[in-house]
Amino acid sequence: MSQKPSLPKGMRDFGPMQMARRNYIINSIKSVFEKFGFMPLETPAMENLSTLTGKYGDEGDQLLFKVLNSGDFLSKTSANDFENGSKSMLPKISEKGLKYDLTVPFARYVVMNQHDITFPFKRFQIQPVWRADRPQKGRYREFYQCDADVVGTDSLICEAEIILMINEVFDHLGFEDYTIKINHRGILSGIAEVIGAQGKESDLFVAIDKLDKIGLDKVCDELIERGIPADAVEKLKPILTISGSVQVVINNLSGLLGNTEAGKKGINDLSEIFSHVKSLGLENSNTAVDVTLARGLSYYTGAIFEVKINNVSIGSVSGGGRYDDLTGVFGLSGTSGVGFSFGIDRLYDCLEELNLFKENTQTFSQVLIVHFDEDSMNYGLSVLSELRSNGIKSEIYPDQTKLKKQFSYADKKNIPYTITIGSEEIKSGKLALKDLHSGNQESLSVDEIISKLKGA
Amino acid sequence: MSQKPSLPKGMRDFGPMQMARRNYIINSIKSVFEKFGFMPLETPAMENLSTLTGKYGDEGDQLLFKVLNSGDFLSKTSANDFENGSKSMLPKISEKGLKYDLTVPFARYVVMNQHDITFPFKRFQIQPVWRADRPQKGRYREFYQCDADVVGTDSLICEAEIILMINEVFDHLGFEDYTIKINHRGILSGIAEVIGAQGKESDLFVAIDKLDKIGLDKVCDELIERGIPADAVEKLKPILTISGSVQVVINNLSGLLGNTEAGKKGINDLSEIFSHVKSLGLENSNTAVDVTLARGLSYYTGAIFEVKINNVSIGSVSGGGRYDDLTGVFGLSGTSGVGFSFGIDRLYDCLEELNLFKENTQTFSQVLIVHFDEDSMNYGLSVLSELRSNGIKSEIYPDQTKLKKQFSYADKKNIPYTITIGSEEIKSGKLALKDLHSGNQESLSVDEIISKLKGA
């Protein structure tokens, strides 16, 4: 009995067309990372559970995929463990898990290789991660992360270069209307201090982060509900509504938060970052200081980034920030770094929604050789050899069959040209090159075809 | 308490230098696959265990990594299951496993997408697979496979193109002395028939496959031990010692096996393959017909390939063959195909052993900007911006520190050039470009540096 195969839920195949488009995105990002001096790293799919557990909160621990020990996995268990349930059994039958993100394995790598690494260490990493989340539209159980980090320096040039890299990637992909939002942990702390909400920071930050979505009134309602005093909320309002160019916002914040130590640090850092951005030659950086941006506050200690493509119904496509202690949990403290990542799936969806994929991102072979009979097929093989030695991606239909079937193959595979060969063509040395898009056909020698296709 | 992190056994990190070298190998292979019209495919790390189990024999089933069901994984189990042991528990607590090779997921993909795929379907796939094997030198629990297959045609042009692709990849990587061994299932069956060893095929094939390693005498001893009659072994000897060019071996085999149906089919197929190879313009194909090559006989039904780099102590680096029924197990029968794969880890080891990695496979940034003070650092940022907009991979040392430390960073990262900037350089506009390899230093304008580095 044969079985009807299926995919586990939340998992995807990437067929040729999707692969071509994904590779186009990934290669665009990679070439920018490399131009900025970042080096590639890959870590294994599996890590020891001791490396992963406790790094992502209780919910994260639940969402880790755990791998059963090999062989007789029950050998270390007792009836007691079984009766005590899954939580008690787990450590006896599973020692490894699939990686949940790229940051924790990176921290592990840095600690294990600290004596061989040259700091500051600039690495990028583009690999799948796995989360046992409930699958839904746009959320998968296997997805690629695409991270770049610099560790071992607190230079704000790194933050400036992140802004440049995002700009360069987005320009290359063809996005025009996007915003790189930037905030700073110090600015958030300064706000909490000046409005008198110290001790209530997390309630404050969770609420103001929603300004975008729910508007000022509802944010204020929520703040009150969360126990922020009404006078604090009143003081907050003018801060939340600051807007304008980066320089205007920074000047405003200086006046409002300049007396708090944290606020001053945040403002100075942002000023320095933008001064570096300017030195690096970027005038219009699509950047906005957004004091309501409050993501990743359990680890970000300095600048915080988030990028949105405007006029597209998709959340943030990139984000990051500076952290003071990436590797402390593995015994190496004081490693400051800054990193960011691109969401490949979301960038894909944005490019699709805005119709920005170029036609040639889905072209594989440039030409198919079509033949009437055995002689013309054999002749076609020698033509194929000449095309390929000139670097032209090309193929021959491998079976002797009707022309119609051969043309339909070219059409379905999105191959733009065909070369038809029959006895006439062999005699004259002039082959029929057809442009399947326009329908135009020309009689050309192999050399003429090669120079035409190389120019195409 | 911080923990000392470690990697699960059999797992590896690939640091920047290894990544650069691996990418060099993978990109060489990929560009050849694409030139020959193969299209990329990726399948998820996890498959349903029902897809994987029973496809690799009992030993393979043991070596599958199984993933625990999420949440309360014991919920479907009873005390009875627990008492009956691991084998009884497994199906209740695990439904998914990590992929063991790329072939079974490919077959699953073809069946699931049979109505959307244009046949013949040429796909390549370069992804990690996982096996719970005992780790040892050169054997890992996570390793990349790199497969290319054509399904939906029995045209022998495909076999010929495999020989061409192997040649092109190896030429590109710089291997000179290698042998593409080819045999055919029909030839093996013909041999069994003419020597009178029918019904003892697997004993026969297992033994003769060892000729390379243990020599003719020991192969004959083993054949006798395995119950092959002495007169059959005598008849076999002249067949096993056939040698010479492809044409000579084929002629010899014609005389010896031409009366058996299977043998004739094998000989005709090989002749046709070599005729196609010639039409495709390849004269010296490094190919040898080897009648003792007997791998993958549980699935290969036609041509069989294996490639060895000569004078290197590493086994085969590539192999493949034709199969008649890739997808029958998933309910789609009669899909003939032919495929082969490269062993990335083994190619890496061969390139290293033969010292064939080019220096530039481990170069990341081409130039580092070194600075004396804040002014020169800021000036350096503008220089950096010009270098990068000319496509030059470059970086600036992000902190203000001693020159010695900055130069040591360039040296350790294998960056070939530095540009040193101080107040003199800012005034004159002539910057100090140093070639760290030769030690030569020149005073050049930014434009001069750019044209020099672009030419380098």
Q: Which of residues 40-99 of A touch B (CB under 8 A)?
A: 40-48, 50-51, 62-63, 65-68, 70-75, 77, 79, 82-83, 85-86, 89-90, 93-96, 98
- Distance (Å, whole) CA A444 – CA A429: 8
What residues of chain B lie within 8 A of the CB of A409, using their CB? Answer: 118, 120
Q: Is the pLDDT at A3 greater than 80, yes or no? A: no
What residues of chain A lie within 8 A of the CB of B37, using their CB? Answer: 364-365, 393-395
Q: Is A255 exposed, middle or buried (0-12, 13-18, 19+ CB in 10 A)?
A: exposed
Residue A84 within a domain = no
What pLDDT, on the 0 to 100 scale, is given for residue B2? 59
Residue B134 within a domain = no
A357-368 pLDDT, tens digit per residue, is 987 776 789 999
Continuous H helices in A177-260: 185-195, 201-208, 211-225, 230-240, 246-257
Kindly state whether B437 is in contact with chain A, defined as any CB-CB distance less than 8 angstroms: no
| Tokens matching residue B8 | 């699960």
* Average pLDDT score, chain A: 94
Q: Minimal CA–CA distance to A329: which of A118, A146, A103, A78?
A: A103
* Average pLDDT score, chain B: 94
Residue B437 within a domain = yes
Q: Which of residues 258-317 of B touch A (CB under 8 A)?
A: 276, 279-282
Query: Do residues B218 and B148 lie in contact, with contact meaning Cβ atoms separated by under 8 Å?
Result: no
A5-20 pLDDT, tens digit per residue, is 999 999 999 999 999 9
Q: Is B227 exposed, middle or buried (0-12, 13-18, 19+ CB in 10 A)?
A: exposed
B45-57 pLDDT, tens digit per residue, is 999 999 999 999 9
Give residues with Cβ within 8 angstroms of A115, minimum separation 6: none
The answer to whether the CB atoms of A36 and B382 lie below 8 A apart is no
Query: Do residues A357 and A351 lie in contact, with contact meaning Cβ atoms separated by under 8 Å?
Result: yes
Q: Is the pLDDT at B3 greater than 90, yes or no? A: no
A418-434 pLDDT, tens digit per residue, is 999 999 999 999 999 99
A403-408, Cβ contacts within 8 angstroms, sequence gap of 24 or more? A403/A370, A403/A372, A406/A368, A406/A370, A406/A371, A407/A370, A407/A436
What residues of chain A lie within 8 A of the CB of B71, using their CB? Answer: 62, 86, 132
Rounded CA Rg of chain B: 29
Cα-based distances in Å from B17 to A56, A117, A196, A242: 30, 11, 52, 47
Q: Which of residues 344-373 of A touch B (CB under 8 A)?
A: 364-365
Kindly state whether B249 is in contact with chain A, defined as any CB-CB distance less than 8 angstroms: no
Residue B90 within a domain = no
Q: Is the pLDDT at A338 greater than 70, yes or no? A: yes
Report DSSP letters for A404-439, one per residue: HHHHHHHHHTT--EEEEE-HHHHHHS-EEEEETTT-
Q: How many contacts (CB atoms, under 8 Å) link A and B?
A: 295
Give the pairing type, strands A367-371 and A394-396: parallel
Q: Which amino acid is at A58?
A: D
What pLDDT, on the 0 to 100 scale, is given for residue A285? 74
- Distance (Å, whole) CA A246 – CA A275: 11
Residue A172 within a domain = no
The rounded Cα B289 to chain-centroid distance in angstroms is 22
A314 — pLDDT class (breaks 50, 70, 90): confident
The answer to whether the CB atoms of B398 and A153 lie below 8 A apart is yes
Provide the b/e sequence for A301-318 (b: ≥16 CB within 10 Å).
bbbbbbbbbeebebebbb
- Choose from B6, B24, B39 for mutation: most chain A CBs within 10 A: B39
Q: Determine phi and psi for B126, rounding to 5 degrees.
A: -125, 100
Q: Is the pLDDT at B408 greater than 80, yes or no? A: yes
| Tokens matching residue A103 | 């940051």
Residue with tokens 């911006």: B385
B259-290 pLDDT, tens digit per residue, is 999 999 999 999 999 999 999 999 877 999 99
**The total number of structural domains that make up chain A:** 1
Residue A422 within a domain = yes
- Choose from A6, A12, A70 for mutation: most chain B CBs within 10 A: A70
Query: Do residues B40 and B125 lie in contact, with contact meaning Cβ atoms separated by under 8 Å?
Result: yes
- Distance (Å, whole) CA B230 – CA B210: 18
The CATH number assigned to the domain holding B374 equals 3.40.50.800
Query: What is the residue range of A435's domain?
Result: 363-455
| Tokens matching residue B386 | 């010009």
Kindly state whether A374 is in contact with chain B, defined as any CB-CB distance less than 8 angstroms: no
- Distance (Å, whole) CA A199 – CA B319: 65
| Biggest CA-to-CA distance, chain A | 93
Strand, helix or coil for residue A370: strand
Residue B242 within a domain = no
Q: Is the pLDDT at B1 greater than 60, yes or no? A: no
Strand, helix or coil for residue B433: strand
Question: If you measure CA to CA, which chain B residue comes closest to A43?
Answer: B13
A391-418 pLDDT, tens digit per residue, is 999 999 999 999 999 999 999 999 999 9
B84-142 pLDDT, tens digit per residue, is 999 999 999 999 999 999 999 999 999 999 999 999 999 999 999 999 999 888 889 99
Q: Which of residues 183-242 of B touch A (CB under 8 A)?
A: none
Q: How many residues does chain A have?
A: 456
Task: Out of B46, B75, B392, name the one closest to residue A11 (CB).
Answer: B46
Residue A420 within a domain = yes
What pLDDT, on the 0 to 100 scale, is given for residue B168? 96
Q: Minimal CA–CA distance to A173: which of A309, A67, A6, A340?
A: A309
Adjacent-strand bridge partners of A98: A46
Query: Looking at residues A312-341, what average pLDDT do you find?
Result: 92
- Distance (Å, whole) CA A29 – CA B2: 35
